[in-house]
Amino acid sequence: MNLTIENILLVGSLLLFISIIAGKTSYKFGVPTLVLFLGIGMLAGEDGIGGITFNDPHITQLIGVISLNFILFSGGLDTNWKAVKPIMKEGIALSTLGVLLTAVSLGTFVYYVTDFTIYESLLLGSIVSSTDAAAVFSILRSKNLALKTNLRPTLEMESGSNDPMAYVLTIAFLGLVVNEDQGVASMIPLFLQQMIIGGIAGFAFGKLSKIVINRIQLDFEGLYPVLVIALMFITFSATDFVGGNGFLAIYICAVYLGNQYLIHKKTILKMYDGLAWLMQIVLFLTLGLLVFPTQIIPVIGIGLVISLFLMFVARPLGVFISLIPFKMKLRRRFYISWVGLRGAVPIVFATYPLLAGIDKANMIFNIVFFISLTSILIQGTTLSIVAKWLNVGLPDTVKPQSPTDAFLSEHPKTEMREIGISNGNFAVGKKIVDLEFPKTAIIAMIKRDDKYLTPNGATVINEDDVLIVLSDTKKGIQKVYKSLNIIQPIV
């Protein structure tokens, strides 16, 4: 069946519906949801029962890039800076040196066990060198897996920030495959340019986005998430236009925004949580449609050998060497090595050789697909088991909430105070979002001229306002007085 304008919405909505229903029951059988999305796409494809003809790497790459924007941005919004800051150096080491070592060691192995040239082998190693943010975020959160100390922030930061390194390596080695007369040294300027510009642009667009979100006056609350989507794509495309890494920029931008006071932040977080899941489903369905199972079968043997080497040698080698300067228990290093999930990102990166038209492009794509599939099936289904074996997991009774869950949850407020804003208070004339209130307290109402207003982040505080403040603790009320620079009365 060929996809047309008339049937694409019907087919797409049916596949989406089937994926959601299948995902609801998948974990009862221990199967990661992402595998089901891929499987449904493959069944619907030309080699499957659906018979849908889809063989367009250009569209696949476009869908992949758009989806990764949402997935990385959502992951960045959910990153708690206080949790990430202590493991920042470890995360950077894993997402740069760890990725490079994984790519080189796997590429060297591929060179000796296949008929690939050295540059083709290193290209394959680069494509699968990074852990996949979609897979890590999805599986860790859907399993509600709680890990000791800073292990989970380390894994989420690595998966969210190492795609740029893999992207740079993929583009660099693809260039060497196409132009073999260039040397490896030509990669260094590209790497520095991508990382430096991407990092600076991400932070700059983060600060600019906060100003735009909090200063712009929109008539409808529902437009604020749309505004954030526009800012996200502007960050990615503008950074890419000036030669920086767009993926790194949007992740840094999202981490910054996720830890700031924003107008209608709850609405934005809810929307991105849903959109991230939608994009994961769409991305994996599309990749499943692009794959021809009959072309996968011939590479199962070599694919399994490469996949096992990646899991048990290349990934641990990259992790252990990159973490040498840091104090970390051996079992934590082993667990980080095991959570080296490969998912949609390597398959998206594998479309670049297809579009470049290199000789081994189809074989590289099929091997990468098989590696991603086995990684999710083997590693993704055993994360909880391995966590128990290595004693790095927390009991169910003490599982912490993610930053987004904590922000979105409605905690009961047991303390209430009426706080008057006198003449000369610094809060007069400021929006509530600019007051940087304690996160454990809310302004439920404002009494103004004998009327009660229901405020939001854009509400401006006036002189003689009386704030009706709710908090879950007395300490939270004390922080409110302190943030307003008011001496708390003795009660």
> Is residue 119 predicted with pLDDT exceeding 50?
yes
pLDDT for 129: 93
pLDDT for 57: 86
Instruction: Give me the chain's average pLDDT, please.
Output: 83
Encode 426-453: b = buried (16+ Cβ within 10 Å), e = exposed. ebeeebbbbbebbebbbbebbebeeeee
> Is residue 409 predicted with pLDDT exceeding 60?
no
Distance between CA atoms of 197 and 100, rounded to whole angstroms? 20
Q: What is the pLDDT of residues 140-150, one digit of tens each?
A: 666 556 677 77
How buried is residue 251: exposed, middle or buried, by Cβ count under 10 Å (0-12/13-18/19+)? Answer: buried
Give the C-alpha distances (Å, rounded to integers) separating 344 from 105, 313, 341. 22, 22, 10
Lowest-confidence pick of 1-15, 34-48, 217-231, 422-436: 1-15
Element (DSSP H or E) covering residue 5: helix 5-26
Closest CA to 130 of 422, 449, 371, 367: 371
Q: What is the pLDDT of residues 434-466, one digit of tens each?
A: 877 777 788 888 888 888 888 887 788 888 888
pLDDT class of 414 with cuts at 50, 70, 90: low
pLDDT for 85: 86
Question: Of the ranges 23-27, 189-193, 390-394, 478-482, which is most confident?
Answer: 189-193
Comparing 397 with 436, which gets the higher pLDDT? 436
> Is residue 407 predicted with pLDDT exceeding 60?
no
* DSSP for residue 460: B
Ramachandran quadrant class, 33 (left: phi over 0; alpha: psi -120 to 50; beta: rest) = alpha
Distance between CA atoms of 92 and 70, rounded to whole angstroms? 22
N-to-C CA span, the chain: 75
Give the C-alpha distances (Å, rounded to integers) separating 260 from 368, 402, 435. 38, 16, 11
Distance between CA atoms of 54 and 8, rounded to whole angstroms? 12
Distance between CA atoms of 92 and 252, rounded to whole angstroms? 13
Q: Is the dihedral of CA 312, 314, 317, 322 positive or negative?
A: negative
Q: What is the pLDDT of residues 295-339, one digit of tens each?
A: 888 999 999 999 999 999 999 999 999 999 998 889 999 999 998
> Is residue 23 predicted with pLDDT exceeding 70?
no
* CB-based contact 36:21 (threshold 8 Å): no
Distance between CA atoms of 458 and 216, rounded to whole angstroms? 9
pLDDT for 410: 47
pLDDT for 408: 45
Q: Where are the alpha helices (DSSP H) in 291-382?
A: 293-296, 300-309, 315-322, 330-338, 344-349, 351-356, 361-378
Average pLDDT over residues 95-114: 95
Distance between CA atoms of 100 and 319, rounded to whole angstroms? 10
Q: Is the dihedral of CA 307, 309, 312, 316 positive or negative?
A: negative
At 369 the three-state DSSP class reads helix
Sheet with 415-420, edge to edge strand ranges: 415-420, 466-471, 441-448, 451-453
* CB-based contact 275:74 (threshold 8 Å): yes
Distance between CA atoms of 156 and 133, rounded to whole angstroms? 7
Residue-wise DSSP of 412-455: PP-EEEEEE--TT-TTTT-BGGGG---TTEEEEEEEETTEEE--
Instruction: Report pTM.
Output: 0.80
